[in-house]
Structure 1
Amino acid sequence: MKPLHFSPSPRTRLSPYFERTVEAGVTSVTVYNHMVLPSAYSGPRAEYDALINGVAIWDVAGERQVEITGPDAERLTQYLCTRDVSRMQPGQGRYTFICNYDGGILNDPVLLKLSDNQFWLSLADNDIGLWAQAICKEGGYDATVQEPDVSPMQVQGPKSIELIRTVFGDEIAELKYFRFVETELDGVPLVVSRTGWSGEFGYEVWLRDHSKGVWLWDRLFDAGAAHDAIPGAPNQIRRIEGGILSYGTDMDPSVNPFELGFDRIVDLETADDFVGRAALEAIKARGVERRLSGVRFAEELAGTATHLDVSVQGQVAGHLTSMAWSPRLNATLGFVMLSAAHSSPGTEVVLHTNDGDFAGVTEPIPFVEPIKT
């Protein structure tokens, strides 16, 4: 077989860290928000071990931003998001949903408030910026919606605090969960936040000048050498253990927040309207017909197959959305979207695969509590 050639273009951009990821031995990539995203270096197990015991550094520049600025920035951001934006302070982030008018999930970004007139939506994989621009124009908001020059890296794992302390000092290392600061390093503008997609203690470092990607990579890895930092990628094993959902896999526009058990992420008590509010109020009032649940299998199953049928008492009751083998729990863990009547913990299910049928038992999400402090 001839080698496969990949041609970067404006439709599939390279991250500012791409050169260093290749030198570091990246073995697999995907495309996320039109940007090449590393998905493996030494392999999921080795990267998992580093993540739960040491520190891993990820190129997640594909986590693109939508920036909303201007006099109506807060009003527009509120109308887009299911969280109460009015209670946020500058330097605070929140996990939120962006829904369509039927209450279906379009994206599940982290929302950052930089100032009263400046917000970032740190996106999952889709073109939600176009949606935001349309809402802004149609609603007559005095605001600007654009993609800023921001390219995040994640520094994740129990030793991440010492790496960040070495580079940025004590004050930034001691940031509280979902808090962030705007800062500079060697004159280069950055944001550092206590966030991440790992379920472990960690940070994100948001580069605000793409021309400095190699510089930032080198600074972080130079500081990480004393802590045996390795390059890595978003880890399927740890994110499932920690109950972290993946847009496009565990949710999409056919899914609403209540089916995921994320009632707390929908602020129906706020006086402000937001896209999908009326539909979500109706869904909450009548209840959902299906729910996402955790599931555990004793066998080690391949983790790439999703949307396989799941049966309860001989009848198809839902489907699998994600799964991975957990070394520390010695089991295959996954998420299943089941009919509400069968979603309670302790339900015996059967997963139907090309390799046969496998018995499992549902349980609450998460399997391992995320480490926040």
Structure 2
Amino acid sequence: MQPDDFGFGTQIRKSPYFDATVRWGAQGFSVYNHMYIPRDFGDPEQNFWNLVNDAILCDVAVERQVEITGPDAAKFVQMLTPRNLSSMAVGQCKYILITNADGGILNDPILLRLAENHFWISLADSDILLWAQGVAVHSGLDVTIGEPDVSPLQLQGPKSGEIMQALFGDDIMDLRYYWLREVELNGIPLIVSRTGWSSELGFEIYLRDGAQGDLLWETIMAAGLPFGLKPGHTSSIRRIEGGMLSYHADADIHTNPYELGLGRLVDLEMEAEFIGKAALRRIKQEGVHRQQIGLVIDGAPMSGPNTTFWAINLGGEQIGKVTSAVYSPRLGQNIALAMVAAEHANIGTELEVVTTAGPSRATIVERPFFDAKKQLAVA
């Protein structure tokens, strides 16, 4: 296929890696943060095995950055999230939630601190640039908010460390989990972080000059080929195995952190005020009515991820919905993340899931489904 074979119109932006991904076999794209994202390099199961056995390179330029600078940058960023950032060091990354006044989740991004008063918010799929600019208007804080020329790639998988060594030298292996470093590669300006959306060992490589996207992609692929590197896309199989959220599927504006078991990302005791603090205090006191669970669904292997929310029934009544489901070839099971009424969210409970193939029995199990302590990613 040629790049011009894909077209949603000029309102959907192409990443600096778009042409390269088509050359390397991208056969289909989705739209995320108003941009194309490759979602098909052939067999998704083979993409999964490429990821967990060797390494894949993914175009995730759709993870747009909201850049916050200025004398009050740190105070402003703390306003946006219930996670306590008081001990966040320059060079550190943190997984955060961005909440609204009702305690609803607007995004679950990675926050990067590049300097004392310089932050990037690396976004999931929602318009936080507009939210942040709106919050700033009447905040009384001295901040500048915009979208920089930054486009991430994800290099993920057990061989990713060796590929990074080939590219950047041995020192790159000193980079700790959820920390970042400013580097150059053949004159290309980059930020590298030990993060990713795969639950595997991995790195994100943030290009700071979109004109060099094609060169960066080809340079990484050339270095990685001896290690089995393949072009790929973020793996639904692996991220569901790891219990990782997909915004708009597993969480949205009507979901609060406690429903997801993410109370650790909410600090109601810190002095700093943040948007949603009063609502989240009330929700914690009252308790949640829904709770996220993991499910194993009986039946033949699913042919692909669910594309609609499947009803979950118990005793003839709907008590929740499946938000993300897929067949895991490694586990030999259909696995799913789901949201159900809290009184039924007990390990071992048997439920009925109404899939596209009809009703199936399902059992509530612990999540994540694989490598629960994320030893692969942290190693």
- Report if TM-score (shorter chain) is over 0.5: yes
- Tell me the equivalent position of 1:304: 306
- Tell me the equivalent position of 1:331: 333
- Tell me the equivalent position of 2:294: 294
Deviation at 1:5, TM superposition (A): 5.7
Q: Does residue 226 in structure 1 map to residue 245 in structure 2? A: no
Secondary structure of the equivalent of 2:197?
A: coil
Q: Does residue 365 in structure 1 map to residue 374 in structure 2? A: no
Q: Does residue 150 in structure 1 map to residue 150 in structure 2? A: yes
Secondary structure of the equivalent of 1:254?
A: coil
Within 2, Cα distance between the matches of 1:320 and 1:161? Answer: 35
What is the identity, as a one-letter code, of the residue corresponding to 1:208?
Answer: R
Write the mapping of 1:169-318 to structure 2, written as runs, cut at 5 A. 169-299=169-299, 300-302=301-303, 303-318=305-320
Within 1, Cα distance between the matches of 2:102 and 2:18? Answer: 39
Within 2, Cα distance between the matches of 1:126 and 1:106? Answer: 7
Contact 1:16 1:210 in 2 (8 A): yes
Aligned residue among 337, 347, 354 for 1:352: 354
- Tell me the equivalent position of 1:113: 113
Within 2, Cα distance between the matches of 1:330 and 1:53? Answer: 17
What is the identity, as a one-letter code, of the residue corresponding to 1:269?
Answer: E
Within 2, Cα distance between the matches of 1:100 and 1:170? Answer: 43
Deviation at 1:134, TM superposition (A): 0.8
Secondary structure of the equivalent of 2:167?
A: helix
TM-score (structure 1 length as normaliser): 0.97
Within 1, Cα distance between the matches of 2:193 and 2:160? Answer: 12
Secondary structure of the equivalent of 2:86?
A: helix
- Tell me the equivalent position of 1:81: 81
Contact 2:153 2:204 in 1 (8 A): yes
Contact 2:80 2:99 in 1 (8 A): yes
Cα shift readout 1:296-349 (whole Å, capped 9, x = no counterpart)? 013223422331110123321101100000001101000110000111111101
Cα shift readout 1:110-167 (whole Å, capped 9, x = no counterpart)? 0001111000000011111001001111112100000011000000000000000110
Contact 1:8 1:14 in 2 (8 A): no
Within 2, Cα distance between the matches of 1:91 and 1:53? Answer: 30
Secondary structure of the equivalent of 1:135?
A: helix
- Tell me the equivalent position of 2:322: 320
What is the identity, as a one-letter code, of the residue corresponding to 2:262?
Answer: F
Within 2, Cα distance between the matches of 1:165 and 1:268? Answer: 41
What is the identity, as a one-letter code, of the residue corresponding to 1:213?
Answer: G
The size of the alignment, in residue pairs, is 370
Which region of structure 1 is more displaced relative to structure 2, 320-329 or 354-363? 354-363
- Tell me the equivalent position of 1:93: 93
Secondary structure of the equivalent of 1:230?
A: strand
Deviation at 1:174, TM superposition (A): 3.0
Within 2, Cα distance between the matches of 1:253 and 1:317? Answer: 20
Contact 2:188 2:216 in 1 (8 A): no
Secondary structure of the equivalent of 2:221?
A: helix
Contact 2:55 2:159 in 1 (8 A): yes
Within 1, Cα distance between the matches of 2:32 and 2:218? Answer: 23
Contact 2:297 2:353 in 1 (8 A): no
Within 2, Cα distance between the matches of 1:190 and 1:305? Answer: 35
Within 2, Cα distance between the matches of 1:173 and 1:186? Answer: 19
Secondary structure of the equivalent of 2:220?
A: helix
Q: Does residue 6 in structure 1 map to residue 7 in structure 2? A: yes
Write the mapping of 1:2-41 to structure 2, written as runs, cut at 5 A. 6-9=7-10, 11-41=11-41
Within 2, Cα distance between the matches of 1:18 and 1:305? Answer: 25
TM-score (structure 2 length as normaliser): 0.95
What is the identity, as a one-letter code, of the residue corresponding to 1:330?
Answer: G
Cα shift readout 1:274-300 (whole Å, capped 9, x = no counterpart)? 110110011001100110000001322
What is the identity, as a one-letter code, of the residue corresponding to 1:194?
Answer: R
What is the identity, as a one-letter code, of the residue corresponding to 2:43?
Answer: G
Secondary structure of the equivalent of 1:87?
A: coil
Contact 2:111 2:119 in 1 (8 A): yes
Within 1, Cα distance between the matches of 2:222 and 2:313? Answer: 51
Secondary structure of the equivalent of 2:319?
A: strand
Within 2, Cα distance between the matches of 1:177 and 1:240? Answer: 21
Name the CA shift for 1:180/1:290 in 2 (closer, same or farther; >3 Å).
same
What is the identity, as a one-letter code, of the residue corresponding to 1:252?
Answer: D
Deviation at 1:4, TM superposition (A): 7.2
What is the identity, as a one-letter code, of the residue corresponding to 1:144?
Answer: T
Contact 1:102 1:276 in 2 (8 A): yes
What is the identity, as a one-letter code, of the residue corresponding to 1:314?
Answer: G
